[in-house]
């Protein structure tokens, strides 16, 4: 198993960008469940709801708010464009529709899941260096949402994860993403190793992050188009994922902790990529 910075593949020439074959993705489910990934669900919280309303790709069904929030929404252009009525409800009534402990801030939106894009959504413009994030068996929806937020902050083209062993689109994920779910494509693929190879064929350099790697992120190749590959907080990257990556590096940690959580690691790696482009 290779954890160091020794590359197993030559860096592709700048601008190389062969077409990516559309990946097999699961379709948008339908049904009536509220937060299970099998049908319409509730998005809650101010940032998540307003971003969803502003996304023309969103199919919205009901908008529920407390009286104070409803008065404020009357002046929001996205609500007027939607032509959606605002149902006024008490806080405890809204809570009955949501998962226990959901922090809704007096606002909830019943919506269909977004249509899932194919892997071609990650394709960059050949002349512009770009970055995507790949998540290997990350199952916590809040971690995925926070990773999406980091991806949006640093201009990543997409977040890619598996169809299985990954959370569906839910209110918890949308809340953690704080609006990023509406602007960063969340791509689901059947086989992650195959998707990495297709990214490589499309001109991406696949850099895995693993705490046991010998080399540091500071020394890693982040030129051109880069796919940052991160694993779950518990088990990290799987062996086959590591073997498929072009390079593996660790984030240097000098304090008295063993590792960073997923969202923090994603933000650090994305910042390092963005810093080199300045």
In the chain the domains, ranked by start, together with CATH numbers, are 41-111 (3.30.1330.30), 119-277 (3.40.1280.10)
- What's the confidence (pLDDT) of residue 20? 40
Phi and psi, residue 251, nearest 5°: -85, 120
- What's the confidence (pLDDT) of residue 1? 36
- pTM for the model stands at 0.87
Query: Which positions ≥6 away from 262 have C-beta within 8 Å?
Result: 135, 138, 140, 143, 146, 147, 230, 232, 233
Phi and psi, residue 182, nearest 5°: -85, -15
62-82 average pLDDT score: 94
The owner of tokens 């019943």 is: 110
- What's the confidence (pLDDT) of residue 12? 59
Of the chain, the end-to-end C-alpha distance in Å amounts to 34
pLDDT value at 3 more than 60: no
Of residues 35 and 84, more confidence is placed in 84
Per residue in 188-216, pLDDT (tens digit) is 999 999 999 999 999 999 999 998 898 99
Query: Which positions ≥6 away from 271 have C-beta within 8 Å?
Result: 154
Whole-number mean pLDDT of the chain? 87
Out of 153-162, 165-174, 239-248, 254-263, least confident range? 254-263
Distance CA 11, CA 236 (A): 25
Per residue in 105-142, pLDDT (tens digit) is 999 999 999 999 999 988 877 778 999 999 999 999 99
């Amino acid at each position: 198993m290779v954890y160091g910075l020794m590359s197993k593949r030559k860096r592709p020439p700048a601008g190389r960008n062969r077409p990516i074959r559309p990946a097999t993705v699961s379709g948008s489910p339908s049904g009536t469940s509220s937060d299970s990934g099998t049908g319409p669900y509730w998005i809650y919280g101010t940032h998540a709801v307003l971003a969803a309303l502003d996304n023309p790709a969103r199919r919205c069904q009901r908008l529920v708010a407390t009286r104070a929030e409803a008065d404020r929404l009357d002046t929001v252009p996205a609500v007027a464009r939607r032509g959606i009525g605002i149902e006024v409800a008490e806080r405890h009534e809204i809570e009955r529709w949501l998962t226990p402990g959901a922090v809704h801030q007096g606002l909830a939106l019943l919506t269909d899941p977004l249509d899932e894009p194919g892997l071609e959504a990650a394709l960059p413009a050949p002349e512009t260096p770009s970055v995507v994030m790949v998540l290997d068996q990350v199952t916590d929806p809040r971690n995925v949402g926070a990773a999406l937020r980091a991806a949006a902050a640093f201009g990543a083209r997409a977040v890619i994860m598996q169809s299985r062993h990954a959370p569906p689109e839910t209110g918890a994920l949308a809340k953690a993403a704080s609006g990023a779910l509406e602007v960063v494509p969340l791509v689901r693929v059947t086989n992650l190793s195959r998707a990495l190879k297709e990214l490589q064929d499309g001109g991406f350099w696949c850099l895995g992050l693993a705490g046991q790697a010998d080399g540091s992120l500071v020394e890693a190749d982040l030129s051109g188009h880069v796919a940052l590959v991160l694993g779950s907080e518990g088990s990290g990257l799987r062996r086959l994922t590591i073997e498929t990556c072009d390079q593996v590096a660790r984030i240097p940690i000098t304090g008295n902790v063993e590792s960073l959580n997923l969202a923090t690691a994603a933000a650090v790696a994305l910042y390092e990529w963005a810093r080199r482009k300045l």
